[in-house]
Amino acid sequence: MNILVDDDDDDDDEPSTSRCPPANETTADDHEALQVEHFSHQHKLTLIDGQEVARQDDQDEGITCNGCMLPIMRGESYRSCTEQAIEKPCNFSLHINCAKLPRMRLLPLHEHELTLLPKASFVGGVFKCHMCESLSQGFSYSCGDCDFYLDLYCSSLYERKTILCDAHVHTLQFSRQLVSCSSCGTCDKNFCFRCISKKCDFRLCIPCVKLPLIVRYKYDNHPLRLTYASVKNDLHEYYCDICEGIRDRKHWFYSCPDCDFECHPDCIRGRYPQVKLGGSYKHDDHQHHVALVDKRKSAIPNDKRERLRPCPDCLNMCVGLVCECLECGINIHLEHEWAADNRGFLELLADLLKMFIPSNEPDNNSSRWRQGIHGTEFRVPKHV
Ligand SMILES: [Zn+2]
Ligand SMILES: [Zn+2]
Ligand SMILES: [Zn+2]
Ligand SMILES: [Zn+2]
Ligand SMILES: [Zn+2]
Ligand SMILES: [Zn+2]
Ligand SMILES: [Zn+2]
Ligand SMILES: [Zn+2]
């Protein structure tokens, strides 16, 4: 989304008590120190001049800011750990402005003062942002007493109060009421940006406000553009070229006109664009490290390729962002981390379940998935 700060916005109703630069607009001024300490990292962070350093990385594998989880664009200056580690490099980088954010701030979105947290204490540091309701890694403004988390992009969006979007002529204003998102059709979000004109019905949910204008697809040499309206076709049928599912003609999508390629935003960006899938994270209730995976229920009934597994904590099939242990061949819902009551009982249940879930020796198959003894998915006896 091409967000422009609305200059006409008068500041008499200032929503925040501390001003800071928006997280995703970073510019180095002449007085930037070459090296700075940052509370979130054990080594000093060096200023990398984006103009001088020729970036070797492919845009797909670009550098991500560990603060806001947004990419650091080519040519953009940033701060990075340059410590020559013996084991493995830190791979820790921050937008210049993300490195300057205040440690504490008060935002009217929450009644208590918020603390800048480098990593939430859940598996993989994943938290749920209060404003966009997305799962995210990276820094957050958090209230420990209330389990309140706000990702950095949302904190800067909230601070702006008004934005301009090139899909609509008028200014959009932050609002607490979403009726229906003009981009994706969702109605079940708590916040949105809506047109200031009473005559317009244009509203965007926060995740749609955050959609980048351009994304890359590994099988297309051209960049894909965020597109607001489908060109009418004779069949009146619109499909996604990635999932082959139907696209709603009225919803935003990404397209490449040269290749006649069109797709759902979720299909190209993933359902959890603020989370780095994979990895190896410590899980408090499991003896091995786990990876973060996105498990989707297949749209095709009885799809043999569907590899959903039951969660040992709640016995429901694991869908969405889940923790996976390849050694044990199990998935665990991430949400249990956030509602970890009755842990004793659930642990007992999990132990019981382990007797029924086969634990194969790890194979050297290149496939990420191992087969259960009953075929492609593990089955759990009904009355445990
Ligand atoms: Zn950042
Ligand atoms: Zn480091
Ligand atoms: Zn958010
Ligand atoms: Zn609080
Ligand atoms: Zn939306
Ligand atoms: Zn309008
Ligand atoms: Zn799709
Ligand atoms: Zn395990």
Q: Where are the domains of the chain?
A: 161-209, 214-269, 283-354
Q: What does the pLDDT profile of the chain (384 residues) look like in tens digits?
A: 545 444 444 433 433 333 333 444 445 555 788 999 999 999 999 999 887 765 554 444 578 899 999 888 878 899 999 887 677 888 899 999 999 999 999 998 999 999 999 999 889 999 999 999 999 999 999 998 999 999 999 999 999 899 999 899 999 999 998 889 999 999 989 999 999 998 999 999 999 999 999 888 888 788 899 999 888 877 788 999 998 889 999 999 999 999 999 999 999 999 999 999 998 999 888 899 999 999 887 767 777 777 778 877 778 888 889 999 888 888 888 876 555 433 344 444 454 454 444 444 333 332 222 222 222 333 333 332
Give Cβ neighbours of residue 381 (< 8 Å, ≥ 6 apart): 356
Q: Could you tell me the distance, in angstroms and rounded to a whole number, from the CA of residue 28 to the centre of ligand 2?
A: 21
CA-angle at 328, arms to 284 and 330, nearest 5°: 75
How far, in Å, CA of 20 to CA of 210, rounded? 19
Residue that has been written with the tokens 């489908």 in this structure: 230
pLDDT of residue 38: 95
Helix (H, G, I), strand (E, B) or coil at 223: strand
How far apart are the CA of 105 and the centre of ligand 7, in A? Answer: 39
Residues listed for the chain: 384
Residue 294's CB is within 10 A of a number of other CB atoms, namely 14
Question: Residue 92 Cα, ligand 2 centroid: separation in angstroms?
Answer: 6
Which residues have C-beta under 5 Å from ligand 1, the single-atom ion?
65, 67-68, 95, 98
Give the model's pLDDT for residue 196.
95
290 CA to middle of ligand 1, Å?
26
The closest ligand to the CA of 148 turns out to be: 4
CB atoms within 10 A of CB 96: 23
CB 193 within 8 A of CB 172: yes
CB 135 within 8 A of CB 272: yes
Note the ligand closest to the C-alpha atom of 283: 8
pLDDT value, residue 6 = 43
**Cβ contacts of 359 within 8 Å, gap of 6 or more:** 328, 329
Distance of CA 16 to the CA centre of its chain: 24
How far apart (Å, rounded) are the C-alpha atoms in residues 169 and 176? 21
**Per-residue pLDDT, 337:** 58
> Radius of gyration of the chain from Cα atoms?
23
Alpha helices in the chain (DSSP H): 152-160, 206-209, 265-269, 343-354
Give buried/exposed letters for 207-244 (b at 16+ CB in 10 A, else e): bbbbbbeebbbeebeeebebeeebeeeeeeebebbbee
Q: What is the DSSP letter of 11?
A: G
For residue 261 the two structure tokens come to 């390629």
CB 210 within 8 A of CB 131: no
- List the CATH code of the domain at 283-354: 3.30.60
ipTM passes above 0.90:
no
State the distance from the centre of ligand 7 to the C-alpha of 246, rounded, in angstroms: 7
Cα–Cα nearest to 308, from 330, 291, 287: 330
Per-residue pLDDT at 36: 93
Is residue 172 within a helix (H) or strand (E), and if so which, with residue range? strand 172-175
